[in-house]
Amino acid sequence: MSFSFLFKPVVGKLRQFIPYIFAILSIISVSSQAASSAVILQYHHVSDETPRITSVTPETFKKHINYLAENNFNVMPLVDVIEALRNKKALPERTVTITFDDAYLSIYTNAFPILREHGFPFTIFVTPTPVDKNYQKFLSWEQLREMTAAGATLANHTMSHVHSVEKLPGETKAQWLSRFRLDLELTEARIQEKTGHSVKMFAWTFGETTPELRATLDEMGYVGFGQQSGAAGEYSDFTRLPRFPMAGIYGVNDFAIKVKSKALPVTSQSPDSSLITQDNLKPVLELTLEKGDYQKKQLRCYASGQGELKVTWLDEGMTRLSTQANKPLPVGRTRYNCTAPSNSGRHYYWYSHAWLRLTDEGKALD
């Protein structure tokens, strides 16, 4: 005997709820992805007496930190954020981490008291040579140890802040990479000797790198950090994670927008390299995107000093796009920034690719 007639009314009622079930699942998926982002802030000097291009004033820095505190941002240690992202663990909404490059004295005199007042952790990427030589505007090892006791983390930024991308005259590729590897090892050993810290995190000097250097970094078990803007997410390249530079014109008027941003889910990009060749001064960038809580039709890309670029979608599903500079990129460092508003319009999804054009002699600009 068939009892199917008993189930037909139930099945019929369930069927009308199917669209709502899928909608709920979609929201859960989007929320999970949205929580897999963190904003990493990058500072150098916190002073009104240092070069503006690498500085924020103490007043601006205090405004930044107060904004994070007053708006309930989750300020986490960098090591914890990286562990969560690498293991695809959800992070709390509005997760931010604070970093400094080069170990300047103003971190201790102007930034540290503000951070300590709020109990915020932070990371300093240390260049040991000027610390060892007691340069006037740099921290001492004693000051660095005092800050680690209060929750700071110390990480690797090369021994002498060289341009890692540059080869020495007559140097082979193998010699160049070996020199980079040795510098990394010596720097890590010096920081560990003086402070006990060895977290195997490395910030690229000037934000410059190449695929060969990144492969070496990865082989050595390090996580790398660049200076291209955007939030970090589970799809990010862990040999050159993005950080929002906070200096000069950056991060003063649009700080709130940046700290609320999410990682645009870019699963692959072409080219993999940042280097611009002489015969390709208007490089094409192609990105492949995962689905997410962002408005694809509102995605826009921009180039440093050139304004908005044309975005071309390469497939009907709008999962692949290309963009290109309007005019040749200059010698030095430039970026393409691509952003898209969230479906709610409350924040932006952000991705940045750094470009590097060397001089004809193969040198990088400071």
What is the DSSP code string of 180-223? HHHHHHHHHHHHHHHHS----EEEPGGG---HHHHHHHHHTT-E
How far apart CA 255 and CA 253 sit, in angstroms, is 6
Please report whether residue 338 resides in a domain.
yes
Q: Which of 219, 235, 261 corresponds to the end of one domain?
A: 261
Mark whether 142 and 176 lie in a shared domain. yes
Answer yes or no: do 153 and 279 share one domain: no
CATH number for 302: 2.60.40.1220
Q: Is 305 found in the same domain as 238? A: no
Other beta carbons less than 10 A from residue 280's beta carbon? 12
Do residues 239 and 283 share a domain? no
Residues 6+ apart with CB under 8 A from 299: 311, 321, 338, 339, 340
Residue 337 lies in a domain: yes
- The answer to whether position 9 is within a domain reads no
**Pair 95, 239 in one domain:** yes
Closest CA to 161 of 138, 193, 141: 138
Per the structure, the count of domains in the chain is 2
Q: Which domain holds residue 337?
A: 264-366
Q: What is the pLDDT along the chain (366 residues), one digit of tens a residue?
A: 444 434 344 434 444 544 443 333 333 343 444 458 999 999 999 999 999 999 999 999 999 999 999 999 999 999 999 999 999 999 999 999 999 999 999 999 999 999 999 999 999 999 999 999 999 999 999 999 999 999 999 999 999 999 999 999 999 999 999 999 999 999 999 999 999 999 999 999 999 999 999 999 999 999 999 999 999 999 999 999 999 999 876 666 789 999 999 999 999 999 999 999 999 999 999 999 999 999 999 999 999 999 999 999 999 999 999 999 999 999 999 999 999 999 999 999 999 999 999 999 999 999
- According to the model, what pLDDT value does residue 32 have? 40
Are both 81 and 164 inside the same structural domain?
yes
Of 231, 261, 291, the one marking the end of a domain is 261
- The residue from 208, 231, 261 where one domain ends is 261
Q: Which two tokens stand for residue 336?
A: 């393409």
From the DSSP assignment, how many helices (H) and strands (E) are in the chain? 11, 20
Q: What is the pTM of this model?
A: 0.90
Q: Do residues 67 and 255 touch, judged by C-beta distance below 8 A?
A: yes
Please report the pLDDT score of residue 21 as a whole number: 39
Answer yes or no: do 217 and 348 share one domain. Answer: no
User: Quick one: 231 and 319 in the same domain?
Assistant: no
d(CA 262, CA 308): 20
Q: Are residues 307 and 256 part of one domain?
A: no
What CATH number does residue 175 fall under?
3.20.20.370
**Residue 57 in domain:** yes
> Is the same domain home to 232 and 137?
yes
**Whether 185 and 244 share a structural domain:** yes
Sign of CA dihedral 266, 267, 273, 278: negative
Based on the fold, state whether residues 46 and 87 are members of the same structural domain. yes
